[in-house]
Structure 1
């Protein structure tokens, strides 16, 4: 039987400064690598936070702006509070919403229109 490994979403980005501010300064990801074919060519960058690794690309065709991904987090309520405390100019998330499928979820849109939904599964008796 073939075993699948982890996935690494590639998300489209347009503005390097805004992308860095959003993912690194606001969400807390750390850069893993940066790649450009030439000094003035588009940026392809990897970022990581905990076990979540994302690739962010300015290259045409690498991804579609406005994509949506779900990211598991151990305590989405605490993460939302940390993000609100940063008073980031373009995103001030509220409290996570309880879903019909038994999780708490918080969706934040990045500068390229990608939707990141941070989610924590609720215990069965709380769902």
Structure 2
């Protein structure tokens, strides 16, 4: 088997908070949105720098409290960017990991964790 892409689905409960966190603070862009009707739950794709996530209000799609490990570069700059925005709900640190990496972990309003890791 050979996979071409893995896209985690993260459970969200509040569209406004999800947009504030993922778009406003983390700097992701909305690629597309889907609803079966105007009053149906939201399902959308967001992305930034090669990271693609699906965010879903549908109760059966995922369990809150997931953790996504993201291998990337530019973690120091990303850490500075996030802290410069002074988001009142999250102030991530820059961690030095025992596997010779640095990381920034953020927790979304729905208790999902995104761990951005850069190997040194």
TM bucket normalised to smaller: over 0.9
* TM-score of the aligned structures, taking structure 1 as reference length: 0.91
Query: Which residue of 1 is the match for residue 106 of structure 2?
Result: 108
Unaligned runs of 5+ residues in structure 1 are 123-127
TM-score, normalised to structure 2's length?
0.96
The number of equivalent residue pairs is 120
Moved over 6 A (4+): none
Query: Residue in 1 aligned with 2:47?
Result: 48
Match of 1:80, SS state, is helix
Aligned to 1:63: 62
Question: Counterparts in 2 of 1:24-43, with a 5 A limit?
Answer: 24-43=23-42
Q: Deviations over 1:13-48 (max 9, x none)?
A: 000000000000000000000000110110001001
Offset, 1:111? 0.7
Mind listing any 5+ residue stretches in structure 2 that lack a counterpart?
none
Rg comparison, structure with higher value: 1
Provide the C-alpha distance between the structure 1 equivalents of 2:57 and 2:7, rounded to a whole number of angstroms: 16
